[in-house]
Structure 1
Amino acid sequence: MDGESAWSEASGQAKISPLLSFYRLLLDVMLCALRSSLDLCLVLLRHQHERRKRSREWIASYRKVLRSKGRRRPRYAARFPRKRLVRPHWYALAEVGNPRRWWVYPCRKHWWEKFVAEVWDADRWIENFRMSRGTLFSIVEVLRPRIERQRTVMRAPIATEKRVAITVWWLANKECYRIVGQQFGVARSTVAEIVLEVCFAIDVDLLRKTVCLGEVDKIMDGFGHLGFPHCIGALGETLIPIRAPLRQAEEYRKQLCSVLLQGITDHTGRFIDVEVGWSSLNHDAHIFRNSSVCAAMDAGAFVPGNPTIAIGGVQVPPLIVTRGCYPMRRWLMKPYRDPDDSRRSLFDDRLGKAHSVVECAFRRLRARWRCMTVLPVTEENATAVVMACVILHNICEERGHVVQGDLCETQAVLSPADEGTYQCSDDDCCSAAGNSVRDAISTFMQTPQTGP
């Protein structure tokens, strides 16, 4: 019997406990509703008090005006005119704010549609957009399937041409989102959204079409005219200041918060490979060793066919010239540390002349896209914006859009400090092969060449 009674008591408690939890939940709901009701009553009382106060002030001021004019107050003037408006406390009850005065704030319209797109000539387009009208609209047609918005019964979407124009204007002119929004008649938040969206679309749709090797024979002939044989590119880098991360602002207070743009250009200054996204705290050689172009050149897969020539009994692959902080490779040429004879001095002079191509390309890149002075985006969005600038730079270079001289004079290339060669475990064997190729080329340069 004792066991049965204990079991019955336990089952009774098990049945009572759900009821207790239900009543407790019901009590909490009632307390919450009561608290909300009390808060609403306080809001209503406060609103009624303010309304009566404004009514008394209005009647007093009206009587004062009548006394000052010596007139008798009409019988109906004591009544405060009541307007049938939706009271603010109903919006408080619905937990929404006061109704908007504007769904779309009135702003400048038709500047882009009527004036820029139809009136500006080619010079004004290149001056402000860094490209002609035809170039911009050709980019629009490529990006249209990705960034075009569907037209619905609601407000009309921003046209694709205007989206691309807003982005190119922001990249080309050192202006904030607010100024660009006032220029094109859109909100500041809309400009920020459009800029990132179009930059990501440019990176996805145009990267492989524009940042590529091109015709190898023409590139080698171009560097050959500059005095360096069998060369396909010049390697360089520049620092791009960006906005410091919010959670790491203290760490970047006394040093530059920037990303490093490492690129290879052909003889015309068009980028054929770009590596971006690394922090400037990393060494240039470390970034280059971990890049895709380094692995491709080591495997002989970057240049189609990997053509080699024999110079002084040494097989020379397609070469890339760079400055002294990078490690030696069989295909990567850098100047001598201490040129003690005329042969080495001649090699350094011609290598410097060939390497100046990439320095001028970086100068034109920063002059063409003024946003790169200090990039006002976060670290996770900096890569897409910089890649968009590089892609548009190549398009402008191919179309022959020249950068104005005054822009080039005000833009300086920010290069990282030369901290010496970054040593790695596999540098010894690569340096030996690279030195043999460099000695063969320097001897070839000093030898008088006979030709037609």
Structure 2
Amino acid sequence: MHHRTDYIRLRDALSRRQKQRQRLAIKRRQCMIEQWFCLAEGYVPRKQWVTEKSQDWWERIVLRCWEEQDWLECFRMTRETFEHIVCILRPRLERQETSFRQPVSVEKRVAVAIWCLATGSCYRQAKDQFGIGLATVCSAVLEVCYALETELLSKTISLGGEVGAIMDGFAAMGFPHCVGAIDGTHIPICAPGGSPEQYGNRKKFSSILLQGTVDHRGHFIDVEIGWSGKNHDAFVFKNSAICAAMDAGTFIPGNPSLQLGGVTVPPVIISDGAYPLRRWLMKPYGTHGETNAHKHFDRALCRSRNVVERCFGRLKSKWRCLATRLNCREENVVAVVTACTILHNICEEHGHNSLCHMGDPNPVLVPQEEEAGLEPDRSHLEEGKVVREALATFMFANARQ
């Protein structure tokens, strides 16, 4: 009986293999027949080169019918600003036409990227919206982000020659001789495969840190992007380029100083309690404040430093991809976030800094607390205390006049 069962199984297996060979032979014959017809009678055209998609929304509605308010709501900028960006990026994004098909225009590729960054939509929604393939959407977003980083980063995010205007702006807020406010915020990302704990933070999600330094208007003058969210804000700061440049006195042109009661006060940047005190980095006294001058200093610093928190709120309300988990590979995260900060500065420079229907989300800021697990640099700490005391005395004396 067992031999009979084994025989039946073997027969069925041989039968299946024979049928599989027959199907493969039929496919080979069909391929040979198609090739023969191609050689004998000419080219046999394919049924379709690409799947037909609707071009109606972008070409007929957006380009022909949309008004400025429509552009502001969906692209966070006017059409004039959009065309200005396209003009700058065109030499890098232009593609050569071939005999097979026309390339996707630079305007459409830039629009796809800005749409995805602004709305936070997934790539599948964007492909249906613009009538292009999924792979084209993915490549367009990354190409535009890298082009923005290459062409506009140094031109857009910099101190420039506006040091005097920035100092006047912070002085009007109540803090003199200040050139910027610094803080950090978490950018949620998809946990990289194999090591989700590498970017895990105290909030129990994966993120990278965006350390931003802004002027009195909320424009970025420096960004540090890419550190894991598990790092403390003070650690990121001490390893950042702006810290090294300010220590060397090369970040601010001319590095103008101020004499207050025999103390030389360099141009300062203000921060919260999470940052280490330096002669050029002012943080509040907090619980260590004892006098009325110290309390006045803390109030003025808090009022002036609020500009960076409002900047992060506007950044994430405009570029919604930063408010949710970034849908890109680990190696492309920095380019995408950098592109958003560049577009933020461009939009604010052109006056597109308020959208009445959009509420500023609460940015996931790094907690305001003292440095944890970092050995303080005593020389920097003592110099910072001297400068802070001189500023506090000067500000309190001016407020009483």
Does 2:240 align with 1:291? yes
Indicate how the Cα distance of structure 1 residues 443 and 119 shifts in structure 2: closer, same or farther if over 3 A, else same: same
Output the CA distance in 2 between the equivalents of 1:383 and 1:224. 33
1:399 corresponds in structure 2 to 350
User: 9, 33, 45: which is aligned to 2:22?
Assistant: 45
Does 2:279 align with 1:330? yes
1:386 corresponds in structure 2 to 337
1:166 corresponds in structure 2 to 112
1:340 corresponds in structure 2 to 290
Output the CA distance in 2 between the equivalents of 1:252 and 1:262. 16
Partner amino acid for 1:294?
A: C
Q: Which has the higher contact order (CA 8 A, sep 6+)?
A: 2
Output the CA distance in 1 between the equivalents of 2:400 and 2:280. 26
1:443 corresponds in structure 2 to 393
Per-residue displacement from partner, 1:322-365 (whole Å, max 9, x unpaired)?
00011111000000031232111110000001100000000000
Does 2:89 align with 1:150? no
SS state at 1:275 partner: strand
1:51 corresponds in structure 2 to none
SS state at 2:353 partner: coil
Indicate how the Cα distance of structure 1 residues 161 and 386 shifts in structure 2: closer, same or farther if over 3 A, else same: same
CA shift, 1:100, in A, is 7.0
Output the CA distance in 2 between the equivalents of 1:218 and 1:415. 28
User: 312, 315, 318: which is aligned to 1:365?
Assistant: 315
- Alpha-carbon contact 2:293-2:393 (below 8 Å) kept: yes
Task: Report matched runs for 1:164-203 at 5 Å.
Answer: 164-203=110-149
Partner amino acid for 2:344?
A: H
Output the CA distance in 2 between the equivalents of 1:175 and 1:372. 11
1:56 corresponds in structure 2 to none
SS state at 1:272 partner: strand
Partner amino acid for 1:291?
A: S
User: 265, 270, 273: which is aligned to 1:321?
Assistant: 270
Output the CA distance in 1 between the equivalents of 2:358 and 2:85. 24
2:260 corresponds in structure 1 to 311
- Alpha-carbon contact 1:326-1:422 (below 8 Å) kept: no
TM-score (normalised: structure 2): 0.87
Per-residue displacement from partner, 1:95-149 (whole Å, max 9, x unpaired)?
x9xx975321111113212221121010100010000101111111111111111
Does 2:39 align with 1:88? no
Output the CA distance in 1 between the equivalents of 2:322 and 2:296. 35
Output the CA distance in 1 between the equivalents of 2:400 and 2:197. 63
CA shift, 1:187, in A, is 1.1
- Alpha-carbon contact 2:112-2:130 (below 8 Å) kept: yes
Partner amino acid for 2:50?
A: V
Partner amino acid for 1:216?
A: V
- Alpha-carbon contact 1:130-1:403 (below 8 Å) kept: no
- Alpha-carbon contact 1:270-1:397 (below 8 Å) kept: yes
SS state at 2:212 partner: strand
TM-score (normalised: structure 1): 0.77
SS state at 1:239 partner: strand
Task: Report matched runs for 1:64-79 at 5 Å.
Answer: none
Partner amino acid for 1:116?
A: V
Larger mean CA deviation between 388-397 and 334-343 belongs to 334-343
1:112 corresponds in structure 2 to 58
SS state at 1:408 partner: coil
SS state at 1:263 partner: strand
Q: Share of identical aligned residues, percent?
A: 47
Output the CA distance in 2 between the equivalents of 1:43 and 1:100. 27
Output the CA distance in 2 between the equivalents of 1:198 and 1:187. 16
Partner amino acid for 1:88?
A: K
Output the CA distance in 1 between the equivalents of 2:137 and 2:235. 37
1:127 corresponds in structure 2 to 73
- Alpha-carbon contact 1:325-1:420 (below 8 Å) kept: yes
CA shift, 1:427, in A, is 1.1
Per-residue displacement from partner, 1:161-199 (whole Å, max 9, x unpaired)?
001000000000021000000000011121011101110
User: 200, 203, 209: which is aligned to 1:260?
Assistant: 209
Output the CA distance in 2 between the equivalents of 1:103 and 1:273. 46
Task: Report matched runs for 1:231-250 at 5 Å.
Answer: 231-249=178-196
- Alpha-carbon contact 2:272-2:368 (below 8 Å) kept: no
User: 375, 384, 389: which is aligned to 1:434?
Assistant: 384
- Alpha-carbon contact 2:214-2:308 (below 8 Å) kept: yes
SS state at 1:233 partner: strand
Partner amino acid for 2:27?
A: P
- Alpha-carbon contact 1:365-1:393 (below 8 Å) kept: yes
SS state at 1:274 partner: strand
SS state at 1:448 partner: helix
CA shift, 1:418, in A, is 4.1
User: 221, 225, 228: which is aligned to 1:279?
Assistant: 228
How many residues are matched?
372
Deviating beyond 3 angstroms after TM superposition, the runs of 4 or more aligned structure 1 residues are 38-44, 87-94, 99-102, 249-254, 422-426, 448-451
Query: Structure 1 regions of 5+ residues with no counterpart?
Result: 1-37, 49-86
Query: Structure 2 regions of 5+ residues with no counterpart?
Result: 1-14, 36-44
Indicate how the Cα distance of structure 1 residues 90 and 202 shifts in structure 2: closer, same or farther if over 3 A, else same: farther
Partner amino acid for 1:302?
A: F
Output the CA distance in 2 between the equivalents of 1:429 and 1:91. 82
Does 2:165 align with 1:218? yes
